[in-house]
Structures are given as structure tokens and as C-alpha cells.
Amino acid sequence: MDIDRHRFRRSASRITVLAHALGVTALSLLLVWLLHYREGINLDSDNASRVFNVHPFLMFFGFIFFAGEAAMAYKTVQAERKVQKFTHMLLNLIALVLGIVGIHAAFKYHNMINLKHMFSLHSWIGMGTLCFFILQWLFGFAMFMFPRSSNSSTRERGLLWHVCAGRALLYMAICAAETGLMEKASTLKLMDSRESHLVNFTGLTILLFGITVDLSIALARYI
């Protein structure tokens, strides 16, 4: 059993490092696209494109990246349980706040160009993910940050649902990101160009980030 634990710990560590690297790579690719090809990022700009660019930036870096880091922080970082829980909660709270700002940027952009809200599959998945994420955070905060509010058996059952819901929400967020990139590429009519290839590689890297985060969490269960 000790040999198995050592093997799982080593595998989880390697995949966690890979997940961090993929997250940073996806962020770098996204920034190259938004800054080099799409005019920059500025929520207070009169340029509608710059306002919109806040949305994909914060929905990945602020929401998906921080949520993934929060999950790995609880499962793979060697620290006291209280430190793990607090770090997990704080990173998820940051993800939530930045995700709300990212959604606000999309609505502001729609108002600037007189575009209807919530008309696409991307917007439905994204808004649904954010709403469920809020409920997930409130559930976790109430049950696990205040252990006296429930008995141990209730927390044990709730933990299973909390973990499963968190993993599902991560994939829902990634699905929203992928459909968002596809929708924007279609709107811009990007064909076989360097920009279209960059968008594709960005989407692929975001997907791989989510997969490696999930694998890291799954392997960490056996440590």
C-alpha cells in the first residue's frame, strides 16, 4: 500500500505541474490573441471590442484558471486541513467575483452594440455555470467552514456531492469557454489564418488544462 501511495503521489505531482503549465500556456495564448489581434483589454473603454475582450480574459483567467487552482490546492498541496480549506474557499471566491465581472463585461458589450442578451447556447451554458457555481460556493462555505452547523455524517455525504459538483462545474465552464471561442471565431469569420489557428490552440490548451486538473484531483484521492 505504501508503494501504491508513493506511485500515486508521484503521478499526481507530475500531472499537477503539467496542469499549472497548461493553464499558464492557455493564458499566454489568450493574451496574445486579445492584445495582438483584438485591440486590447479595457472595461472602461469607448471601444466595444476592448470592453468585450475583458469577458474571455476574466472568464478563463479569473474563473476557470482560479477554480482549477482552487481544486488542486485542496487536493494536492501538502498543508494543514484548515489551510487547505481556507485556500480552496478563497481561490473559489476570487474565481466567482472575477467571473461576475467577466459576465458584466459581456452584457456591457451587448448594450454598446445593441445586441440581444442571452440568445446563444454559449450564454446559456455560461450563465448556468455561474449560477450553479454560486450555489456550490455557498453550500461549501456553510457546510465545511462552519462544521458545527452539521454533523459528521451529513458532512461526509455532502463532501461527495460537493466534489462531484465541483468537477462537473469545471467541465461546464470549459464547455462555455469552447463554445464562446467558436462563437467569436464564427462572428469574426476567421478562416484558415494565423488568428484562427491561435484561437484553436487556445481552446485546445484550455481543454487540456481542465483534463489535467481533473486527473490531478482524481489521483490525489489515493495519496
What is the end-to-end Cα distance of the chain in Å, rounded?
10
Residue range 11-24: average pLDDT?
88
| CA distance readout (Å), 23 to 2, 3, 16, 191, 206 | 31, 30, 11, 26, 7
Predicted confidence band of residue 2 (pLDDT cuts 50, 70, 90): very low
Q: Is the pLDDT of residue 222 over 70?
A: no
162 and 140 in contact (C-beta within 8 Å)? yes
Question: What is the domain partition of the chain in residue ranges?
Answer: 5-222
Q: What is the DSSP string of 130-165?
A: HHHHHHHHHHHHHHHSSGGGS-HHHHHHHHHHHHHH
pLDDT at 3: 47
Q: Is the pLDDT of residue 11 over 70?
A: no
Listed in sequence order, the residues at least 6 apart from 67 whose beta carbon sits closer than 8 Å to its beta carbon are 91, 92, 95, 133, 169, 170, 173
pLDDT at 1: 46
| Fold entry, domain 5-222 | Four Helix Bundle (Hemerythrin (Met), subunit A) (1.20.120)
Q: Is the pLDDT of residue 145 over 90?
A: no
- The 10s digit of each residue's pLDDT in 75-96 is 777 778 888 889 999 999 999 9
222 and 4 in contact (C-beta within 8 Å)? yes
**Of 200 and 223, more confident:** 200
- The 10s digit of each residue's pLDDT in 146-174 is 766 667 777 888 888 999 999 999 999 99
Predicted TM-score (pTM) of the model is 0.91
Listed in sequence order, the residues at least 6 apart from 85 whose beta carbon sits closer than 8 Å to its beta carbon are 74, 144, 145
